[in-house]
Structure 1
Amino acid sequence: MDLISSRLLFRPMEERDRRFMRRFLSDGELTRWLPVDYPCPMEQVHLHVDRRLEHWDKHGFGTFVLEEREGEGPVGYCGLEHVTETPFIDLRYGLVQSAQGRGLAFEAAMRVVTYGFHGLQLPRIFGAAMPDNKASVAVLTKVGMRPDKRFDCYGSNLFTASVDRVAFDLKAQPVTHTGIYGAHG
């Protein structure tokens, strides 16, 4: 299943994305805000990608690779995944530096959360960010997430939040450029 938004194409992560993820996950600047064990040594990148691919196979959803509609090649990732051994579905995202600061993380997060609630019928979606990562905390807040201490999968030093479908739908009503089935949906 591929998704679109006004500026982004979303496609399920595939084997061919190992090279992009290797560059992304081994870059100390791009991974400085990820909660655990980053940047990755090269051998760990393969395990990371294997877990993303296995999630798609097992659950039928997971992490998408993002490409700008008017660009070439991946600019990041965004998706929903089960946190291992928990009932939580976590919103995950990251962008290369050239794609940061243009609202793409929010656009991707809105599209993926909309898909989670309306396509997958999820009851609640969680998110976490390092408290000092103001941009990521802002994305979680803008998609309607509010602090939620139940989401403690990555340690107590994170900003943890969640949103349920009703609260999200109330928050998302004014957003028209990221409809359920694509841009201007």
Structure 2
Amino acid sequence: MLNNKNNQLETERLYLRHFKTGDIDEYSKIMGQDEVGQWLPRGRGYTKEEVEKSMAGMSKHWEEKGYGIWAVIEKESGKIIGHCGLNFVKQNDEVEVLYALGKEYWGLGYATEAAGAALDFGFDVVGLDRIVAFAKTDNTASKKVIEKIGLKYIKDIEIFGMTCAYYDMKRKPENI
């Protein structure tokens, strides 16, 4: 179930909405987890200042591109559990689907649910022809999520200072 209203998405168990200024403390707790940060370019948890800067960048990205990264909200609790969305990658002129959830939400299918909704948004609403994804080569769980939502492994590449598995998906002909 994908319900798109004002560039905000609703799935069976999640809301994906724009970040608000008041989200900083709750979101910083998630992004500050070293277990989360180990899979991201910094390789560690993020400081509150780094998270604030990142949120400002997300807001600017939405303004410039018309798509971006949402806060992922668990419907049942109303809590922010991470982020997910679409990001323009300047290095290779592509749009990636990405996600990061707090460690207590791993293994529950939330990443697959959110990333699948973001992928559908990219193809059906934004009109993208191709979306890519990256996962550190040793991040087995993330690679499974990427494959579950339909992206295909292409090769390993160096990007963002990391060795990553590189995936892509082209828009299905029926969506054109």
Which TM-score band (shorter chain)? 0.7 to 0.9
Length-normalised TM-score, structure 2: 0.86
Give me the whole-angstrom Cα distance separating, in 1, the residues matched to 2:27 and 2:119: 22
Distance 1:31 1:146 in 2: 25
- Count of aligned positions: 169
Q: Which residue of 2 aligns with 1:88?
A: 94
Contact 2:38-2:44 at 8 Å conserved across structures: yes
Name the SS of the counterpart of 2:49 in structure 1.
helix
Unaligned runs of 5+ in 1: 170-185
**Residue of structure 2 aligned with 1:104, choices 102, 110, 115:** 110
Question: Quick one: which of 12, 17, 26 aligns to 2:18?
Answer: 12
* Pair 152,132 (structure 1): closer, same or farther in 2 beyond 3 Å: closer
| Partner residue in 2 for 1:127 | 133
- After superposition, the C-alpha distances for 1:152-180 in whole angstroms (9 at most, x for unaligned) are 532461111111112897xxxxxxxxxxx
Give the C-alpha shift of residue 46 in structure 1: 2.0
Compare 116-125 and 6-15 and name the one that shifted more.
6-15
Report the Cα distance in structure 1 between the residues aligned to 2:54 and 2:60, rounded to whole angstroms: 10
Pick from 18, 34, 58 the counterpart of residue 64 of structure 2: 58
Matches of 2:42 and 2:30 in 1, distance apart?
15
Do the aligned partners of residues 64 and 36 (structure 1) sit closer, same or farther apart at CA in structure 2, a change above 3 Å counting? same
- Deviating above 4 A after TM superposition, structure 1's stretches of 4 or more consecutive aligned residues are 149-152
Higher RCO, 1 or 2 (CA under 8 Å, sep at least 6)?
1
In structure 2, the residue matched to 1:25 is 31
Q: Which runs of 5+ in 2 are unaligned?
A: 1-6
Structure 1: how far apart are the matches of 2:32 and 2:105? 18
Structure with the higher strand share, 1 or 2: 2
Matched, 1:159 2:165: yes
1:71 is matched by which residue type in structure 2?
S
CA distance in 1, matches of 2:158, 2:129: 18
Q: Deviations over 1:38-85 (max 9, x none)?
A: 322333222211111111111121111111221122111110011235
Q: Write the distance in 2 (CA, Å) between the matches of 1:41 and 1:110.
A: 29
Change (3 A) 1:21 1:70: closer
1:178 aligned residue: none
Q: Distance in 1 between matches of 2:129 and 2:52?
A: 31
Determine what percentage of the aligned residue pairs are the same residue: 27
Q: TM-score normalised to the size of structure 1? A: 0.82
RMSD of aligned residue pairs (Cα, Å)? 2.2
Whole-angstrom distance in 1 between the partners of 2:10 and 2:141: 22
Aligned to 1:75: 81
Paired with 1:120 and 1:76, the residues of 2 have a C-alpha distance of 22
